[in-house]
Amino acid sequence: MQDQPRHETTTTERGSFALARCSCGWTGPARRSRDRARTDAAAHMAPPRESDSVMSPGRF
């Protein structure tokens, strides 16, 4: 089994916006709140929840 690449996130500022970036190439949306950008990075690094991988009835 191959190891997953290590995710290392940072937050950067672009003008009055903050955004999260990851070493895997992922970039979060631009946010006016630095705290929200950090939350985006934490959510990206969190293991996927089982409910995210199963389509709920009524969701298409």
pLDDT tens column, 1-52 = 456 668 899 999 999 999 999 999 999 999 999 999 999 999 998 887 766 5
End-to-end CA distance of the chain: 32
What band does 58 get if pLDDT is binned at 50, 70 and 90? low
Query: What pTM was computed for the model?
Result: 0.68
Show me where the domains of the chain are located.
Answer: 9-45
Beta carbons of 28 and 36 less than 8 angstroms apart: no
- For residue 38, which phi and psi values (nearest 5 degrees)? -65, -35
Q: What is the pLDDT of residue 53?
A: 55
Beta carbons of 33 and 18 less than 8 angstroms apart: yes
